[in-house]
Amino acid sequence: MKRLLFASALLLACLTAAAHAESPRIEAPAKATVVPFELLPSGHMAVMVKVNGQGPYRLIFDTGAPITLLDNKVAKAAGLLKDTPEPLFTFFGSKGEVKVKELQVGDQKVSDMTAIVMDHPTVEAISRAFEKKLGGPINGIVGFPFFARFKMTLDYQAKTVTLLPNGFKPPDVMKAMMTAITEASSGVPKMLAPAAQWGMIAAKSAGDKEDGITIKSVLPDSPAAEAGLKAGDRLLTLDGRWTDSLVDLYMAAGYAKPGETAPVVIKRGGKELTLKVKPAAGM
């Protein structure tokens, strides 16, 4: 029963998720593009987007959206549904995953990008509320598969999104979700490993609720020793990340690369000090 329920949820999620292996290309100028956005009275940002050369359509620019979403109207006009059989059952007009040949925001174009076709009730509610004021509807959401390919600068004062291609290749979100679900229910603990050698041992007792973690010992001639760290120091941050627990400490050390200087903030004798540690390669 449990397996059946779980499997059907997964199935629902990956109806059409398979079979798209090739990675999308960016056809964009290597320079930054400044794209104006409309700030909706609800606090959302809307940008004008061309889909397969059609439009422009008004879409919400949403850093919290793992996928890009287009409504049925846009999907039809842009010819996205040609190869998609009409499903027997749809949920909010969902047609599942489609390939967009070209999605364009400002001068920046992304080719062969995955999007989901659906009449999202929240988007519709926002569209209904502001359609008159905006002079047109809102047809979807610009999400991660588009914006991840750019260094983006969001400025609510200037009301602009600046996009500069950064070479980042976004992974397939559906696949990542399946892996995450499997891992979360596997019961296998996650292994954390520092990316470099520091040469120090830290500990925090169960009853210790104060910020930071205490350094128990520092190995002689280690990167930590060379930077001036000492046993008894209270480590508050490592490379800008809070170190309030062992998990925190190992997470932070997982980001700090060997050979690159990382600032650490410690408390010693009631005073805060910033030391620079250059962790060494190794494990």
Partner 1 sequence: MKSFWPCAALAVLCLAPRARGDAPPKPVAKSYEVPYRLTAVKHIVVRAKINGKGPFNFILDTGAPALFIAPDAAKKAGVDADAKGWGVFDRFEIEGGVVLKNADGRVEKPFQLDGMNGLGLAGVELHGMIGYNILAHYRMEIDFTKDKMIWTPLDYKPDEPKRVGNGGGGAGGLEVMGQLMKFLGMLSGAKAEPDYTFRGFFGVDLEDKEGMEYPVVKSVLADGPAAKAGLKAGDRVTRFTGRTVQNVEDVRRFARKLTGDEAVKLTVQRGDEKEPIEISFKTGEGL
* Residue that has been written with the tokens 């280690």 in this structure: 222
Q: How far is the CB of 41 from partner 1 (least distance, A)?
A: 4
CB atoms within 10 A of CB 99: 14
- Name the residue nearer to partner 1 (CB basis): 26 or 249: 249
CB atoms within 10 A of CB 192: 13
- Name the residue nearer to partner 1 (CB basis): 79 or 96: 96
Query: Which one of the spans 1-9, 18-26, 50-58, 75-83 is the region binding partner 1 (CB under 8 A)?
Result: 1-9
Position among 23, 34, 53, 153 found at the interface with partner 1 (CB under 8 A) = 153
Sign of the four-CA dihedral 199, 205, 206, 207 = negative
- Name the residue nearer to partner 1 (CB basis): 53 or 231: 231
Strands 25-27 and 108-117, sheet pairing: antiparallel
Residues 68-107 that bind partner 1 (CB under 8 A): 69, 91-92, 94, 96-97
Task: Tell me if 146 contacts partner 1 by CB under 8 A.
Answer: no
Position among 177, 226, 228, 273 found at the interface with partner 1 (CB under 8 A) = 177
CA distance 42 to 46: 11
CA distance 142 to 60: 6
Q: How far is the CB of 50 from partner 1 (least distance, A)?
A: 20
Task: Tell me if 30 contacts partner 1 by CB under 8 A.
Answer: no
Reported as half-sphere exposure (CB side, CA atoms, 13 A), residue 9 has a value of 9
